[in-house]
Chain A
Amino acid sequence: MLSRRTLLGRAALTGMVALSPHLALANAPTDRRFVFIILRGAMDGLSVVSPVGDPAYAGLRGALADPQGQSTKLDTLFALHPAMTATAAMYAGREALFVHAVASPYRERSHFDAQNVLETGGTVAFAFKDGWLNRFGGMVPQDPAIAIAATVPLALRGKAPVSSYAPSALPDASDDLLARVGALYSADPQLHPLWSAAMDARMLAGANGPGTMAPAALGKLAASFLAKPAGPRLATIEINGWDTHSAQVRRLGTQLKQLDDTLAALKLGLGPVWSKTVVLAATEFGRTAAVNGTGGTDHGTGGLAIVAGGAVRGGRVIAEWPGLAPSQLYQNRDLRPTTDLRALMLGLTAEAYGLDPERVSRTVFPGNNVRAMTGLLHS
């Protein structure tokens, strides 16, 4: 049985498809999809893509070095954590790559400032009030970006229109009440646009939104939006819980399984659209090179970014490897960053949408002259 909400949603969708130049769009550069997965809490990149070929690695890491001895060999230097089975298959199929020793311009060790820099795309915390992906979204002639969460992360906040959606166990409010609330908010400059976006997202989701909030379900939900011909082209997903100061082996295994499930759910849910998709998973900073006294690692600097998607020229680890010997570490404790995370963000987004990287750089990272990494995607 169709609810009235579903019918309204379908009517609206049909309308949108009719209004948008759908057939032309299918072959246009903007048919690409970009998903930004924010890994909050500072993922330990050295445990995810481990430099097992670095002579200093085993000594620094002790019990954290390849916990089960089942890591997947990626090349002569690196091995992938055994929990990431779906990602390993993507790497083998040349649909995933890793960028190591990467960092934003932030060089202190506060999660909160570092996440602000990661999401705003600034060089210091609070330099920008809006998010880098929102500034990029303003350059893409498509439907609003969507945050797969009840609230919009800073990366997507800003002038360009954004929606948010997350599954909820709450019963739906009646259409009559929704309409009256809409009228109540019509003159409110803050609430009116939020309410309109909420109504749009509900219509797009239809009756098929999954009911749980597990990361893999969020991946499936994101895919259901992105796969729609007239749906959003940009999405964010957040996964918390990477701050592994203790018992890292167990906790990181669980986290990585979640991330792996999320990537697998995206690929599965996007179906043929996966070939046009780029996913970037990034975290605010890396963790200390050495294990601490409680089987974990503390806040560090250089880290790892994960790139997946059918549009990606995968099957490689991109790293200007700085080494882990004491003299090679940053401040004698962290992996030294050699690649600017913003160059990766810029390269992926500009290439994906066929935009001039210098123009994107001026808009997304104004005043910073960030130069894009190149050759990341299939043309």
Chain B
Amino acid sequence: MPAEPVSAAIALNRFGLGARAGETPPADPKAWLRAQQHHFDPRPTVIAATPHSSALAAAWHEYSTQVRAASMKAKRAANAGLAPSTAPAAVMPVAFAKPATPGKPLQHDVRHFNRDSYEAQERARLLAALTTPAPFAERLTYFWANHFAVSADNVVMLGLAGTLEFEAIRPNVFGRFGDLLQAVETHPAMLSYLDQIQSIGPDSAVQRRASLRQARTKSVGLNENLAREILELHTLGVGSGYSQADVQELARALTGWSVGGFLPPTTAIAAVDGGFVFQPDWHQPGERVLLGKTYRQDGDAQGRAMLADLAVHPATAHHLATKLARHFAGDVPPPALVERLAATHMKTGGDLSRVYETLIDAPEIWSRSLAKFKTPWEWLVSALRGVGVTDAPDLKFVVELRDLGQSIWKPRSPAGWDDTAPSWAAPDALLRRVEVAQRLAATIGDRLDARMLARRLLPGTLRPETSAAIARAASPAQALALLLVAPEFMRR
């Protein structure tokens, strides 16, 4: 028996990324969603073709080594009383995809390399969204990437931000939350973004040696940024009862967590592959107490044990359940759904596949259509899918996410993008969507009949007023633009 049209619309739009032109609505929406776990490819070809974090680390390592060598040479020349020779020549690091630009400093090349990497990752993300056989799984990927937000705000993060999603999040979307958490907190993008890579314990071996050499070289190198955001954003959630002392204890346990490749060679231990390294000399020794529990492990095992406990803490279960319910059921998360999601998390030790089962079974999600105002990313992806874009030439539209207010991997805050309507439903933001819709429709022109397309994309939710406006439009392109900005297309 065919599903209720509204149920199909909810499966396609609220759980999925919007119907594609030519796609038949699922006959059994819940079965369609459940099957996606098996159709999801964590590393599709388009994503596998983008630079890995290790390539970015190698480029950065080579760049910083050469800059250091050039500055040493200049210093030696100055000490020998020689006039400074010409500026250091731009030597092309082997890792860079493009040749050095003659006459431009090396910095120019590393910036270019990272910007090219970022743009390739953006296009890969969009292409995967447009061609995926598992749109619900892709949506879950974006959910977790936003939960563990990093932002491409400087030259290093520009290249790295997307690799967190591709390398740490995608492979763990259907696994245990604890594994996802460990993968994220040990990934070079997160460790760099939240200032963890040079956090040094006050009683670490490095600090003890420094204080033997001279009275006090500099203040203690502890940085509590990552620890704070783990507790506040990634696990327990703000206001769940941890103290400043807990933040500091977690920060001390994490000292020594760093990455190869992004630190000066004299500072970091050998690894340059960009992956996680534990620097034993930087670690604050001794037992730590977090949330009243004592951790006696040595080295990085201590922080890992804390993360494992945080992943299955009741406050974490409640925090994640609230965000999932808000994302799928509406801006005001239904308390009963939050309770059920949290209970599944606790009962299964954070098995995310089982948590998603609770989501799929939730009557709160299926009972109200169009409950969520789409974010710019959600709107643009659904519009491109709706008009059947799947190939490279049309991907210039990725650039317009900037004008729509949501550049990929640039939330500018570790809290990620907000997930409620007031952040996105604003006067100028609406106008921009109309402008983008007009441009998109102009390129599709008369290849699509918006009257038929409207019924396909919005089964059961298309309003008579919208149908009439589309039918009365002045041109096929204008009809298409009106469909893409109709109230029911702005929501999911």
Contacts and interface: CB of A to CB of B under 8 A. Distances in A.
Interface of A: 40-41, 62, 108-113, 125, 147, 149-152, 154, 157, 163-166, 168-174, 176-178, 180-181, 183-185, 187-188, 190-191, 194-195, 197-198, 201-202, 240-241, 245-246, 290-294, 296, 298-299, 331
Interface stretch (B305-313, B339-347, B433-441): B433-441
A263 to B, nearest CB: 22
B223 A174 contact: no
A147 to B, nearest CB: 8
B62 interface: no
B425 A190 contact: yes
B469 interface: yes
Nearest to A126: B239
Q: Quick one: which of B232, B238, B427, B466 has the most chain A CB within 10 A?
A: B427
Interface of B, helix, strand, loop or mixed by DSSP:
helix
A241 B224 CA distance: 18
Contacts of A293: 198-200, 218-223
A289 B425 CA distance: 39
B424 interface: yes
A110 B229 CA distance: 9
Contacts of A178: 434
B244 interface: yes
B256 to A, nearest CB: 13
B90 to A, nearest CB: 23
B482 interface: yes
A286 to B, nearest CB: 15
A190 B485 contact: no
Size category of the binding interface on chain B: 35 or more
Interface stretch (B179-187, B415-423, B449-457): B415-423
B413 A111 contact: yes
B412 interface: yes
Contacts of B326: none
B412 A292 contact: no
A226 to B, nearest CB: 17
Contacts of B466: 184
Given A188-B487, A198-B431, A331-B244, A151 B424 contact: yes
A191 B486 CA distance: 10
Q: Which 3 A-B pairs have the closest CB atoms?
A: A293-B221, A198-B427, A197-B427
A81 B169 CA distance: 42
A181 B432 CA distance: 12
B432 A170 contact: yes
Contacts of A187: 465
Contacts of A109: 228, 244
A112 B239 CA distance: 11
Interface string B98-117: 00000000000000000000
12 contacts: A62-B219, A168-B403, A170-B436, A171-B438, A181-B434, A198-B427, A198-B430, A290-B219, A292-B224, A293-B221, A296-B223, A298-B223
Interface string B123-153: 0000000000000000000000000000001
A285 to B, nearest CB: 13
Interface stretch (B36-44, B63-71, B348-356, B473-481): B473-481
A291 B219 contact: yes
B357 to A, nearest CB: 30
Nearest to A183: B469
A129 B195 CA distance: 33
B119 interface: no
Contacts of A195: 427, 430
A241 B410 CA distance: 12
A191 B425 contact: yes
Contacts of B423: 151
B469 A152 contact: no
B222 A177 contact: no
B439 A180 contact: no
Contacts of A165: 427-428
Contact of B405 (A151, A171, A180, A245): A151
B94 interface: no
B244 A173 contact: no
B490 interface: yes
Nearest to B231: A110
Given A170-B436, A198-B430, 13 more contacts: A125-B239, A149-B428, A150-B429, A151-B429, A152-B422, A154-B422, A168-B428, A170-B435, A171-B435, A176-B478, A184-B465, A184-B482, A185-B487
